[in-house]
Structure 1
Amino acid sequence: MIPDLTSLSVHENPWLRTIRPFGAAALSGIAKSDNSLIAIDSTQGYLLQIDLLTDNTTILNPDHVADFLDATGLALQGDKLWFTQGNSVYCCTLADPTPQHFVSLPYSANGVAVWESTIYVSCQKTGKILIFNLETAKEITRLYAPGVGIENLTIKGEELWVTDTVEQTVYCLDRATGEIKFSVLTPFECPTGLAFYTNPTTGEDILYVSYAGEEPYIRDNPNANPNYELAFRDRTFIHPLYFHYDAEEKYALSNGYLIEMSYVEELSPLDEVELTDLEWRIALPTETHRQKIRKIEFVGIPFTEEIQDGQRVAVFKFDVLKPGERHLFGWKALLEVWSIKYHITPRDVEKVPELPPEFKNRYLADDDDLAMDTEIIRNAAIEAIGNETNLLRKIYKIRNYVYDKLSYGIKPHIDSPDVALERGVGSCGEYLGVLLALARLNGIACRTVGRYKCPPHPELLGVPLSPDFNHVWMEFYLPGFGWLPMESNPDDVFEGGPYPSRFFMGLAWYHAEIGKSITFESLRSKGEPVNKQNISIGDLAINHVRFRILKELIPVDN
């Protein structure tokens, strides 16, 4: 008998857990069965039946494994199973898994879904979702595919749902027109399949998403010296995707996490200095649509709090900072963080209000060494947008232009945008500088946002995690809508494009928003800013950044 699970939390409810099938290497498609999920493992050719409560796994095609190698899509209608392999679509029955050819495409077929007498097939090469008549195998029509990666499909009523491996996104489309209703970011990279399953306890639909990839790990090799070595292994699993779409505000939230973030400075100067009447200011996390603050407390030394340009700042005060003195001080915050994706189209911004005058003065100015008066930057600002007049298309074209011109590389210091653009290589901060300069020269208000990303390992609950680097991205302002996020460089994943749009008007759950358009950390002595050329924070202290993922959260009204 199934127990009453309605009052259980996400981790206590067995229907809302990560499913790790036995023996699976790379799941590339899943489909709903009566009391389980059917999945296909493209690496091993296994057609698997998976118990959602126990992970019990059965191979349904023990004599036909070779027939299912490299299969990348899966759909189940009655007792008939549909899948894609190479450039063809096949069907079979669960009782007899001998593949029967249905149709072939000029290019590789990726995902498949079935609705009554129609077959939907995704094809990355054409950028389309092709629709066939089930009886005649003739193409009826085709829809635009929403992303740039390999896509898999499922259907729920009048909606066509699409996963995209590169976009790290699930799209909800109108099944008839292909129009995107909304999209949500997945909590893990490389989603490869999706299926709705009805919770037998509550009657609610759970959207399960499969993932496949590799993960690094430290291998203990007794034949090597030293015996520890870096290796990679297959990683595949199924996890529920929770989401909430706010149609009025035009954004969707998906899988969130309760995290504890600490930012602590350890006073350890390279050269002993003495500062009097010192204020050490550190920005605090920000409240947004996707980030909520439950609690903030001090670490080491209490602080007072001030509001600077609408942002919360912790102020640590020292009457005298003497040579040889040592302190630990900072803050610890308990945060709810979600993935967010806005769904605003160019049509929505054809007629937007004028930019407020105070925004023009502040967010269109060269106020951070943006080199906006240099010839290379001014020419780039013109070249980036061409003849485009729509504000949303402008910023999208600017992003793609910068991705065309820059490649990612880490440097010990940040150069100005003209230097970075001429060099063709930049860090996240240098990408950001070029984006800010080109956008502002084109009349698009924008600002810097950061500051850290939690290591994206939600399976490591309660384990202290430290980011390798700090990070910055940007927000641009759409009059009538507000500030929208855009990543600096993570979507620049292909040389020459096409570039994914996962973080264009979107952020993953692991972004920690701290201080918008203000300096993250600064010093004041006797009421005046401390000259960075003489004394830098990096010369005075060592920072310690720590995250702990405490539990997974579910948006309301899933």
Structure 2
Amino acid sequence: MPNPEGEFSQIPLPHSTIRPIGVYALSGLAADGNHLLAVDAIRGYLVRIDPHTNNTTILNPHHVGEWIGVSGLSVWEDTFWFAKGQEAIWCDRQTLTPTVFTRLPYPVTGVAVSDLLVYVSCQKSGYIHIFDRTTGESTGRIPQPGVGCETLVLHNDALWVADRAEQTVYCLDRTTGDLKFSALTPFSSPTGIAFYYPTDGAEPICYVVYADEEPYIRDDPNAKSPYQLTFRDRTFIHPLYFHHEPEAHYTLSNGFAIELSYVEELLPLEAVALNQVEWRIALPSNTLRQRVRHVEAIGCECTIEEQDGQKVAVFKFDKLAPNQGGLLGWKAVIEMYGLKYSLSPDDIDDRLTLPAELAQLYLVDDDDLAMDTDTMIQAAKEAVGTETNVLRKMLKIRNYVYDRLSYGIQPKIDTPDIALARGVGSCGEYVGVLLALARLNGIACRTIGRYKCPPYPDRRQVPLQPDFNHVWLEFYIPGIGWLPMESNMDDTIERGPYPQRFFMGLAWYHTEIGKGISFEKMKAIDKPEHLSMGDLAINHICFRILDELMPS
């Protein structure tokens, strides 16, 4: 099968993951000459790390108890600054004697220092507080850009914020707090950010430190059942690469070359003969954040057709005999990047209207959305109230659904009115409710997705199988275009506030396949009405992460 999209060049990455030795959960990160500095919040180690060798040195061997629970490390001249409990603290880097700079009513998580000012982040207050460095007097505050624990660094006259819950790095105007742009991080739970200047004079590297737990199977030979599920600490430092398009309001971040195969194994549940069979399977899409490098057929030859601007693999058989075996599908190599839009309601021109052709396609009930039921009509009114701005309306609809649904796998997908009344829904049911409420409020929406690559970018060249298929949606803003929104992944906090990491954003592992069209269809001239593709075949989905990429 010919490559439908051509080859894409790859920019080699100059830097790789740093794995400090002998640490458990790093929190806070700072650059110091040729080294990086971080704090192990569990052990209380202040460590110096060589980014080229991973060599790790403990700088406070006699003061570890005082550094347990520290976060938000910053360096200013000959002093260290950090957060602990409700206090922002500084100390001389020689004596390490702590001095309280300021104390807030709530716990603080991040500190950044300049020649004149000190910035202190406090999740519970919802603000980054600003103080005069010499007097300690408060000079103002700016809202936190996210809802999680945030660490800070000053760079290029901007305030950079890493938010653990949002899985996002924000670049803010240090004076006003206005958002310049934001970028999704390739890993979850970022706990520190720093800009490191290489000795060769190259451009500074934005490093982000991560700390989390990961499940693994422990082999206990003394137990009756030797294989046990348990958790272990996982912490490392990784460069954040990003490319910002200010005119288009979006930012791409770390990407990965992915090999994805989708194969149907013919495994009929009943003996049935079919004639003149056409089996259509959508291919990965080309989007702002996703590029198809190569496609090839698996099992059987196929042709590639275009359907509504999307590529589809078409397999044709003169006849499928009863109990016939076989494989049919495709393998694709694609580039997938993190994508985050930075749009505010003020960026939306409310005078623009939805194009008529989109209204005909995406404001109608074309998928059992129960849009004519009293339940959904009333919910649509409650969700947006008197709001008229499209972006605010969509966010209010999302939060309304999150307030009323909890995630749970269901034996089948029910209509939105049933799911909303039940209060529990799968990702498909979240999408159904969101689609219905958005369309009832005049917002064009459509379903997208199909699968997510298992989010383990450090597991290269090994087969990775997703546990479930997954769908999310896109909504349309006149004058802007289609914007992505996850179905349920940000419904993480009971009654909120909810993260917005996947509101107008997608992680690198979201795979977009057949945007706006059906993923898979099969027809035959003598196909019984009751017969579905699930009665004829079982699918096999496999991802393989090939390499990391830099957005350009």
**TM-score of the aligned structures, taking structure 1 as reference length:** 0.96
| Aligned match of 2:494 | 495
Alpha-carbon shift at residue 472 of structure 1 (Å): 0.3
| Aligned match of 1:547 | 543
Q: How does 1:312-331 map to 2 (within 5 A)?
A: 312-331=311-330
Structure 1 residues 70-79 or 162-171, which shifts more? 70-79
Instruction: Report the Cα distance in structure 1 between the residues aligned to 2:11 and 2:419, rounded to whole angstroms.
Output: 52
Instruction: Report the Cα distance in structure 2 between the residues aligned to 1:109 and 1:359, rounded to whole angstroms.
Output: 47
**1:225 correspondence with 2:228:** no
Instruction: Report the Cα distance in structure 1 between the residues aligned to 2:209 and 2:222, rounded to whole angstroms.
Output: 36
Alpha-carbon shift at residue 199 of structure 1 (Å): 2.1
Alpha-carbon shift at residue 95 of structure 1 (Å): 1.2
| Aligned match of 2:534 | 538
Contact 2:465/2:543 (CA < 8 Å) preserved in 1?
Answer: yes
Alpha-carbon shift at residue 352 of structure 1 (Å): 4.6
Instruction: Report the Cα distance in structure 1 between the residues aligned to 2:314 and 2:442, rounded to whole angstroms.
Output: 35
Alpha-carbon shift at residue 157 of structure 1 (Å): 2.5
The amino acid that maps onto 1:194 is I
Q: How does 1:156-555 map to 2 (within 5 A)?
A: 156-526=155-525, 534-555=530-551
The amino acid that maps onto 1:417 is P
The amino acid that maps onto 1:451 is R
Instruction: Report the Cα distance in structure 2 between the residues aligned to 1:242 and 1:202, rounded to whole angstroms.
Output: 18
Alpha-carbon shift at residue 540 of structure 1 (Å): 1.1
Contact 1:304/1:315 (CA < 8 Å) preserved in 2?
Answer: yes
| Aligned match of 1:146 | 145
Alpha-carbon shift at residue 420 of structure 1 (Å): 0.5
Alpha-carbon shift at residue 518 of structure 1 (Å): 1.7
The amino acid that maps onto 1:362 is L
Cα deviation per residue 1:38-66 (whole Å; 9 max; x = unaligned)? 10111111100001111111111111111
Q: Secondary structure at the match of 1:516?
A: coil
Instruction: Report the Cα distance in structure 1 between the residues aligned to 2:459 and 2:272, rounded to whole angstroms.
Output: 41
Instruction: Report the Cα distance in structure 1 between the residues aligned to 2:451 and 2:127, rounded to whole angstroms.
Output: 37
Structure 1 runs (4+) greater than 4 angstroms displaced: none
The amino acid that maps onto 2:145 is P
Contact 1:43/1:70 (CA < 8 Å) preserved in 2?
Answer: yes
Alpha-carbon shift at residue 522 of structure 1 (Å): 1.1
Instruction: Report the Cα distance in structure 1 between the residues aligned to 2:453 and 2:419, rounded to whole angstroms.
Output: 27
Cα deviation per residue 1:452-478 (whole Å; 9 max; x = unaligned)? 000000111100100000000000011
Contact 1:364/1:444 (CA < 8 Å) preserved in 2?
Answer: yes
Instruction: Report the Cα distance in structure 2 between the residues aligned to 1:402 and 1:308, rounded to whole angstroms.
Output: 33
Cα deviation per residue 1:300-331 (whole Å; 9 max; x = unaligned)? 10111222222211111111111021011100
The amino acid that maps onto 1:196 is F
Contact 2:350/2:390 (CA < 8 Å) preserved in 1?
Answer: no
Q: Secondary structure at the match of 2:431?
A: helix
Number of aligned residues: 543
**1:9 correspondence with 2:47:** no
Contact 2:11/2:549 (CA < 8 Å) preserved in 1?
Answer: no
Instruction: Report the Cα distance in structure 2 between the residues aligned to 1:340 and 1:363, rounded to whole angstroms.
Output: 23
Q: Secondary structure at the match of 1:515?
A: coil
**1:33 correspondence with 2:32:** yes
Cα deviation per residue 1:254-308 (whole Å; 9 max; x = unaligned)? 0000010000000001112111111111111000000000111100101112222
Contact 1:352/1:479 (CA < 8 Å) preserved in 2?
Answer: no
Cα deviation per residue 1:191-222 (whole Å; 9 max; x = unaligned)? 00000011223520100000001001111101
Cα deviation per residue 1:10-37 (whole Å; 9 max; x = unaligned)? 2xx4xx1111111111111011101101
Q: Secondary structure at the match of 1:301?
A: coil
| Aligned match of 1:3 | none
Contact 1:64/1:98 (CA < 8 Å) preserved in 2?
Answer: no
Alpha-carbon shift at residue 374 of structure 1 (Å): 0.5
| Aligned match of 1:61 | 60
The amino acid that maps onto 1:9 is P
The amino acid that maps onto 1:119 is V
The amino acid that maps onto 1:257 is F
Alpha-carbon shift at residue 117 of structure 1 (Å): 1.7
| Aligned match of 1:77 | 76
Instruction: Report the Cα distance in structure 2 between the residues aligned to 1:330 and 1:261, rounded to whole angstroms.
Output: 11
Instruction: Report the Cα distance in structure 1 between the residues aligned to 2:123 and 2:104, rounded to whole angstroms.
Output: 12
Contact 2:169/2:184 (CA < 8 Å) preserved in 1?
Answer: yes
Cα deviation per residue 1:224-251 (whole Å; 9 max; x = unaligned)? 1231111100000000000000111111
Alpha-carbon shift at residue 344 of structure 1 (Å): 1.3
Structure 1 residues 97-106 or 490-499, which shifts more? 97-106
Contact 1:60/1:94 (CA < 8 Å) preserved in 2?
Answer: no
Alpha-carbon shift at residue 8 of structure 1 (Å): 9.1
| Aligned match of 2:6 | none
**TM-score of the aligned structures, taking structure 2 as reference length:** 0.97
Question: Measured at CA, do residues 331 and 352 of structure 1 come closer, stay the same or move farther in structure 2, by a change above 3 Å?
Answer: farther
Contact 2:12/2:550 (CA < 8 Å) preserved in 1?
Answer: no
Structure 1 residues 299-308 or 418-427, which shifts more? 299-308
Instruction: Report the Cα distance in structure 2 between the residues aligned to 1:260 and 1:412, rounded to whole angstroms.
Output: 30
Cα deviation per residue 1:337-396 (whole Å; 9 max; x = unaligned)? 000001111001133521111111110000000000001001000000000000000000
The amino acid that maps onto 1:464 is P
Q: Secondary structure at the match of 2:398?
A: helix
Q: Secondary structure at the match of 2:403?
A: helix
Instruction: Report the Cα distance in structure 2 between the residues aligned to 1:149 and 1:374, rounded to whole angstroms.
Output: 37
| Aligned match of 1:127 | 126
**1:94 correspondence with 2:128:** no
Instruction: Report the Cα distance in structure 2 between the residues aligned to 1:362 and 1:352, rounded to whole angstroms.
Output: 21
The amino acid that maps onto 2:379 is A
Contact 2:26/2:39 (CA < 8 Å) preserved in 1?
Answer: yes
Identity of aligned residues (%): 59
Instruction: Report the Cα distance in structure 2 between the residues aligned to 1:271 and 1:79, rounded to whole angstroms.
Output: 77
| Aligned match of 1:45 | 44
The amino acid that maps onto 2:290 is Q
Mark the runs of 5 or more structure 1 residues left unpaired by the alignment.
1-6
Instruction: Report the Cα distance in structure 1 between the residues aligned to 2:217 and 2:25, rounded to whole angstroms.
Output: 21
**CA RMSD of superposed structures (Å):** 1.2
Q: Secondary structure at the match of 1:40?
A: strand
The amino acid that maps onto 2:531 is I
Instruction: Report the Cα distance in structure 2 between the residues aligned to 1:255 and 1:247, rounded to whole angstroms.
Output: 18
Contact 2:268/2:324 (CA < 8 Å) preserved in 1?
Answer: no
Instruction: Report the Cα distance in structure 2 between the residues aligned to 1:272 and 1:418, rounded to whole angstroms.
Output: 38
Instruction: Report the Cα distance in structure 1 between the residues aligned to 2:180 and 2:137, rounded to whole angstroms.
Output: 28
Q: Secondary structure at the match of 2:512?
A: strand
Cα deviation per residue 1:71-111 (whole Å; 9 max; x = unaligned)? 11110011100011000011112211121111111111110
Contact 1:363/1:445 (CA < 8 Å) preserved in 2?
Answer: yes
